Amino acid sequence: MKNKITYGLSNVHVWPITATSDAGVPTYGTKIKIPGAVELKLDPEGSSDPFYADDDIYYQGVANNGYKGTLTLADIPDEFNEEVMGEIVDANGARFEDANVAPKEFAMAFEFKGDASKRRHLLYRCKATRSSVNSSTKQDKVDPNKPELEFSAIPRLDNHHVKARAEEADTAYADWYGTAPYEYAAQG
């Protein structure tokens, strides 16, 4: 049975992209679990451009440039900041952000609950920007900070896949969080 609604957000994982071949095939580093997922927003990027002829829309061109996203978390894990964002740690444990180090691209998987089954999603090629740093004084209650990680999800270079999804009944569902992101399996 298919979902009528989805809700919730959990089980966020990322795989840093450590290299990309000349053919555009990514090599993935060790998977990183991102606990404390609060909210995820994805907005499509691209355009829909009509071409008019014979007093009507003769052709509709559509470009899929992926998504712009925001992942709100309880906290951004140090492992993500080191492996993806390029922070360095000195011998005394202090963390440094180097302006000359560019963040790595990464794949990201996550899941939503549904009325009938859980649904897992995968974004194949993401790139994040630095998150804001903020806090406020504690008053009569503790209001936790919720850092936001802004990112773009763009097509892979080799096969142009932007995202994938699977539900609990799908065979792919069990392999979603492997040592590398789930890959397309040709029918045959």
Amino acid code (one letter) for 60:
Q
Q: Confirm if 34 and 106 have CB atoms less than 8 A apart.
A: no
Q: Which band of pLDDT confidence, cut at 50, 70 and 90, is reported for residue 19?
A: very high
Cα–Cα distance, 22 to 78 (Å, whole number): 31
Q: What is the mean pLDDT of residues 79-91?
A: 96
Confidence of residue 139 (pLDDT cuts 50, 70, 90): confident
Confidence of residue 51 (pLDDT cuts 50, 70, 90): confident
pLDDT of residue 187: 81
**Do the Cβ atoms of 10 and 35 come closer than 8 Å?**
no
Residue 172 has pLDDT above 90, yes or no: yes
pLDDT surpasses 80 at 188: no
Could you give the percent of the chain with pLDDT greater than 90?
Answer: 73
With contact defined as beta carbons under 8 Å apart, do 98 and 86 qualify? yes
